[in-house]
Homo-oligomer: A and B are copies of this chain.
Amino acid sequence: MGIIVLGTVALDTVKTPFGKRKNMLGGSAAHFAMSARLFTQVHLVAVIGKDFPARHIDFLRRKGLNLASLAREKGESFRWDGEYKGDLNCAITNDTKLGVLSDFKPGLSKGQRKIKNIFLANIDPEVQNYLLCRMQSPRLVGLDSMNFWIKHKRKSLLRLLKKVNIYVANDQEARDLSGENNLVRAAGSLYKLGPQIVLIKKGEHGVLLYSGKSILALPAWPTGRVIDPTGAGDTFAGGFMGYLTKSKKINEASLKKAVSYGTIAASFNIEDFGLKRTSCLTLEDLERRLAKFRKCIGG
């Protein structure tokens, strides 16, 4: 059956201490797809403009993604121009051009409406809700958001949180939405808003997963090789949701594995610009690094 990902497909211009790349293929849905595809069929739901290079579309197709609901509209593609300086954990946005994203109404084919698994990557919560309502009987619904929507569309986001199983937030978003500074308390508070699972991404510090009864803590893969962290959170979510889609079970054991796969997928993402490293990633690469990772986790 696979998984639907709703999000952005973008043209990213990124500068880090290690170089600069212009108009790379990027966006939340593209990064998510690169890791989720290792576990399941990924259906991309996003919008691109008339200016979107054909080679990028070919690339996404070659990676095995279903592009039936990748809409092409008049107008310019969504573009993000960002930069990382000393602190590679923190992106500085130089420019954002919404283009066709500004009035995007996502659609699904008849077959896609029957899919049970969906990840609503970062995009306007009203658009996320619109797509979720199009689905016949979703079973596993993951949601990501960002500080902009927490501030400006809080009510829509709170309504949406009641409908999702998994809410994925970074540490600052979790603090902003919950009003709690301590992340374990923040997770508990977000859990009360609806989702059965709250996942807090802490970048180089790993993740926390809270599921009401149990809590799971995992450090990040310890590495000094960080070239471009753009999309690491989406790559994490792709590995996490992709594995859960494949395993079909949600229990403590499958959540532990899902968090580990997400962590390791993200560790590859940051090793090169854009999708360069994750687009040639294999499940064997993930497994190999996961085995090493297990050895370097204390406990």
Chain A positions near chain B (C-beta within 8 angstroms): 86-88, 181-185, 188, 202, 204-209, 214-220, 222-224, 226, 256, 259-260, 263, 293-299
Contact = CB atoms under 8 A, between A and B. Distances in A.
Smallest CB-CB A-B distances: 9 pairs: A217-B219, A218-B298, A205-B205, A185-B224, A184-B224, A297-B299, A256-B298, A259-B298, A217-B222
A226 B298 contact: no
A191 to B, nearest CB: 12
A18 to B, nearest CB: 12
Given A202-B205, A205-B202, A223 B184 contact: yes
Interface of A is mostly: mixed
A218 B219 contact: yes
A272 to B, nearest CB: 16
Task: Say how many copies of this protein the assembly contains.
Answer: 2
Contacts of A217: 206, 219-220, 222, 296-298
A299 B260 contact: yes
A192 B45 CA distance: 49
Given A219-B219, A256-B299, A181 B214 contact: no
Contacts of A293: 299
A165 B295 CA distance: 23
Contact of A218 (B88, B214, B260, B299): B299
B296 A297 contact: no
A256 B298 CA distance: 5
A261 to B, nearest CB: 10
A252 to B, nearest CB: 8
A298 B209 CA distance: 10
B216 A182 contact: no
Contact of A219 (B206, B223, B224): B206
21 contacts: A88-B181, A88-B182, A184-B223, A205-B205, A205-B206, A206-B206, A207-B298, A208-B222, A209-B298, A214-B296, A215-B222, A215-B296, A216-B297, A216-B298, A217-B219, A217-B298, A218-B219, A256-B299, A260-B299, A263-B298, A297-B298
